[in-house]
Amino acid sequence: PKLCPSCAHPVVRDDSGDGAATRCLNPACPAQTSRSITHFASKPAMAIDGMGPRTVKLLLEASLISDVADIYNIKKEDIASLPGMGDLSADNLLAAIERSKGRGASKVLFALGIRHIGEAASEAIARRFGGILPMFDATEEDFLKVGDVGEIMAKTLCEFFALPETRALVERLSDSGVVLEEEKVEIETTLEGQTFVLTGTLSTMTRSEATEKLKAKGAPAVAVYDLARCDMSEAVAAAFRYSKLV
């Protein structure tokens, strides 16, 4: 089909999985609503404690929410009136919703559930652009400059941010006080195109610290077992210590 049977939005062909499929990218598609809201509220995303699948189902059935932006307009009395809820549950859920506003652009980007865009990529993209809003004007080439982003991901991002529904949703999140900015990190290209493997215990820093330093120099740090693929291995610790890599 050329149009989504649920929201009548144009669908795109996806050949990246085990088989070809057509997918709707509309973030407001009713057929994807429950799943997308549950993902948005999950711990790796906006971390809204108390908003699991059951609560999302109750909120949808009561027509209190229809998309993720509606989360930030829920009233205490509406929550308290739901089956199995009450004033205390309502207070706890509203407090979690309020805390989620400060999660930052990388968590918001991941929470939007864009296909192919995981946690690590969301963080790298948000840090590169400094927030969500600049992504609306970005080209595939702009996204490809982020080390963790490949051609399929760049294409998906451009398609997602080209949708008027995406802009409307993000604007509503912003109006509700959700932070859409992230500390911008200028990516160097000193180590661009090289592959590093970090294994065992490094003598001068943790692997997480080493990974961040490598990313800041333009090289994706990956854990692999085939050393033939790598330009450097555990000796990277010595390089960090004795060279001008950092």
**Which residues, other chains included, contact 83 with Cβ-Cβ below 8 Å and sequence gap of 6+?**
58
Tens-digit pLDDT profile for residues 223-233: 433 444 455 54
What's this model's pTM, rounded to 2 decimal places? 0.72
Residue with tokens 């120099």: 217
Q: What is the mean pLDDT of residues 1-18?
A: 75
The predicted-structure confidence for 233-246, as pLDDT tens digits, reads as follows 444 544 444 344 44
Element (H, E) at 12: strand 11-14
**Backbone φ and ψ of 243, nearest 5°:** -110, -170
